[in-house]
Each structure stands twice: as structure tokens, then as C-alpha cells.
Amino acid sequence: MKPTGNHAIIIGGSLGGLFAGLMLRSIGWDVDIYERSAHTLDSRGGGIVLQPDVIEAFQRAGVSHKASLGVVAHERYYLNPDGSIAQRMPMRQTLTSWNLLYSSMRRHFPSQHYHQGKLLTNIQQNGEQVMAIFADGTRKIGDLLIGADGPNSTVRQLFLPDAHYDYAGYVAYRGLVNEADLEQDAAALFTERFVFYQFPNSHILQYVIPGENESLVPGERRFNWVWYVNYNELTELPRILTDKEGRHRDYSIPPRMLASSVEEQMRVYADTVLAPPFRKLVAATQEPFVQAILDLGIPQMSFERVALVGDAAFIPRPHTAASTSKAAANAIALADALIEHEHDVPKALKAWESAQLAYGLHLLKHGQTLGDRSQFSYGVGRFGENTTSVQQV
């Protein structure tokens, strides 16, 4: 694509920032990404259900990858308490990993334009241009600034100081197990399947994802599990979100940092309530981690020359399997709007915004319905039943 002479500043170098950066480059923009972390971002764990918007963004941005972007599961199983199969459902889905998507995009994005250790602290705009101000005192000027800076977005706080996420009432314990490290009977049940076990006010699921170095080779992949457990926000959550060094974290504790008392309690609880194959899966997990489930929705995503995308704007619950694909969809639509409006940024952002707000709100509400039904109203509608959604996880 012919260079347009326009320049975008992207805040946040995770998946949302990379989707936006690559899509803008694909329409001839110069792009610089600024990421606060000084280290290579490393996955907290894992699994992502591959959705069409991610594939489209990869294709349109020309991101090369292996023959398949993930591991194909052909069916879903719902288990009984004794581990036998209660229900089988044919459903083809491709399951990938945060690492595979991130690494593929990083390889495709020019490293001289991906800047690490850059913490955005302020933004100024004057109608013609927008300026990003960083904690190290540097300033960068562009035609467009994109806030892809996640749940605690600085960009969002600057423009919508009253908007913040809410705790949904439960957390997701998560873990990964190398294919070779799981007992044979459990491995046979889980391999290349999406498997669920639902019990009162909780559910756990697993699917296979690419392994180390993005390997898709059978035997080198990983079982990825997610277990939703309810905790009271005031009396229980603060303890879960205090890491092993005693530091309280906002919404997640990464692998190797879970407090030993929390991990121990989780393992005992798993042995008490889970169906046997899932007990084995949790027992075989070396570094479980946890993240609080959050709800975030905002009334506005564009502010003259500034746009909010990805988790900075809307955080739908993971049952929609849509956070990553929503970030891709935001970026695709933004590139389309800029072309349609001949790179007039304020006009393009206004035109882009309404459909993105509607999509974010739809995912937010849909996720709340799915999650609340499985976590807080067992018996009213069992997970996996009475729903038109095929995506729920």
C-alpha cells in the first residue's frame, strides 16, 4: 500500500496494539507502538479460541504463520461427576495460544518501531495533531493515538476518568500441562476436544493449545484449563489476589506468583469437587495462576484524534471467547474507516465508533448472561443448554 504520510502512535504492545499497528501499516500509515514493559511480554498462560476476525486481520496485514494457527478440536464433551461422558456435541473449533498470536505479529511488526519501557502518562491534542507524553519525559507527535493499554488503560483514565471495571463475582484459575505430563486416560479424553464439567455455581473446561515454540506436533502441545470459582469481593478476593510476596495485585496473579496457601486451597478444593479427569489435570499442573473476571463497558471510544480499542474499551467475560477477536475487529474496522474517510482522522473515528460501541456492549451483556447463569443460578439453565451461542467457553 502507498505510504499516506500519516503517523499513528499506539499505546500498549500486546495483542490489541499489534492488531491496530499491523492494520494501520497495511493501509500505508507509519506506526510506532509504545509498551510500558521493558521486558518481552510473556503469556500468563495461554489459550485463546481462534475467531474469524483474528484470521482476517492476519490475512489483511500479511502476517505469515504456520500452516495452521492452532489445534483443531472436533467435538465438545460435557462430563458427569464420575468423569463419564454426559453429552457429546460435534463442534469444530481452532484453539490457539496468546504466545502464538503475539509472536507471529511481533515478527511481522518492524522492531525499530516497537518501543519498550515507555509508560504513557499524558496526552495533549490541538485539532491538528496529538501528542503522547511519557514518564521518561519524551514526547511523540502523531495524527492519531490509539489506546490499546488494557484493563487499567491510562488513555481511558485521561478521557473517561469515571469509567472503571467491576469484579464479576468470580475468578478463573488457569493452568497448562504438557501433553506428555498427563496420565494416559485423562489425556485420551482431553486430546483435541473441548471438555467441560459443570457443577453447582462453577465450571471448568479444557482444550489443547500449541506448545513450546508454537509447536503443533502431537505430544508437544499443552492442555489448557480454566476453572471459574466464586469469591466474595470484600471478604475473599483480596487474599486470592495477594501474591506469594505479599503484594496485592489489581486483577491477576501470574504463574509462579500464586500464594502457596491459595494454591494449596485450590488444589484441595479441586480434589473435592472436580470430576476425576479434571482432578488429574489440576494435579499435573505445575504453575497455576489466577485472574479475576471483570466487566468493563464505556460510552465513548473516540476523542477527536484518540481512540480506545481492545480491553481498554470493553472487557467481555471469557465465556464469549471474544476479547482477542474484538481487538482484531476494532483494528480492521478502524483501517476501513480511515480509507473510507480518506484518512481524515476525526471523521473516520466518529464513523468507526458507533458500531464498535454496539459490538462491545453486545459482548459485555452476552458474557454477563452466560457467566451469571453458570456461576450463580445453577439449575435455571445448565451451561451448554438453552443457548443460541456456539462460542461460549
Ligand X SMILES: Cc1cc2nc3c(=O)[nH]c(=O)nc-3n(C[C@H](O)[C@H](O)[C@H](O)COP(=O)(O)OP(=O)(O)OC[C@H]3O[C@@H](n4cnc5c(N)ncnc54)[C@H](O)[C@@H]3O)c2cc1C
Query: Interface residues with ligand X (CB under 6 A)?
Result: 11-17, 34-37, 41-46, 48, 98, 118-120, 148-151, 154, 310-312, 323-324, 327
CA 181 to each of CA 49, 283, 286, 288, 289: distance values in angstroms, whole numbers, following the listed order: 23, 10, 10, 15, 18
- Minimal distance in Å, beta carbon 25 to ligand X? 17
Residue 20 grid cell? 491496530
Which one, 241 or 275, has the nearer CB to ligand X? 241
Which one, 276 or 288, has the nearer CB to ligand X? 288
- Minimal distance in Å, beta carbon 200 to ligand X? 26
Which one, 134 or 197, has the nearer CB to ligand X? 134
Q: Is 74 exposed, middle or buried (0-12, 13-18, 19+ CB in 10 A)?
A: exposed
Which one, 275 or 289, has the nearer CB to ligand X? 289
Which one, 118 or 279, has the nearer CB to ligand X? 118
- Minimal distance in Å, beta carbon 16 to ligand X? 3
Question: What is the C-alpha separation between 161 and 357, in angstroms, rounded?
Answer: 18
Q: Which residues contact 336 (CB under 8 A, 6 or more apart)?
A: none
- Minimal distance in Å, beta carbon 327 to ligand X? 4
Residue 190 grid cell? 482431553
Residue 244 contacts residue 258 (beta carbons within 8 Å): yes
Which one, 343 or 392, has the nearer CB to ligand X? 392
In sequence order, what are the beta bridge partners of 287? none
Question: What is the C-alpha separation between 356 and 314, in angstroms, rounded?
Answer: 10
Residue 58 contacts residue 70 (beta carbons within 8 Å): no
Q: Say how many residues make up the chain.
A: 393
- Reading phi first (left if > 0) and then psi (alpha if -120 to 50, else beta), residue 343 is in left
Question: What is the C-alpha separation between 74 and 129, in angstroms, rounded?
Answer: 50
Which one, 151 or 276, has the nearer CB to ligand X? 151
Question: What is the C-alpha separation between 163 and 264, in angstroms, rounded?
Answer: 35
- Minimal distance in Å, beta carbon 59 to ligand X? 18
Which one, 185 or 212, has the nearer CB to ligand X? 212
- Minimal distance in Å, beta carbon 291 to ligand X? 8
Question: What is the C-alpha separation between 69 and 208, in angstroms, rounded?
Answer: 13
First to last CA, the chain: 38
- Minimal distance in Å, beta carbon 65 to ligand X? 17
- Minimal distance in Å, beta carbon 74 to ligand X? 22
Residue 308 contacts residue 301 (beta carbons within 8 Å): yes
Inter-helix orientation angle 345-376/323-340, to 10°: 160
Which one, 50 or 266, has the nearer CB to ligand X? 50
The DSSP H or E segment spanning 97 is strand 85-97
Q: Which residues contact 383 (CB under 8 A, 6 or more apart)?
A: 196, 198, 203, 370, 373, 374, 392
- Minimal distance in Å, beta carbon 365 to ligand X? 18
Question: What is the C-alpha separation between 276 and 273, in angstroms, rounded?
Answer: 9
CB atoms within 10 A of CB 103: 17
Which one, 88 or 139, has the nearer CB to ligand X? 139
- Minimal distance in Å, beta carbon 383 to ligand X? 19
Tell me which residue has its CB nearest to ligand X. 310
Which one, 322 or 338, has the nearer CB to ligand X? 322
- Minimal distance in Å, beta carbon 5 to ligand X? 25
Residue 227 contacts residue 285 (beta carbons within 8 Å): no
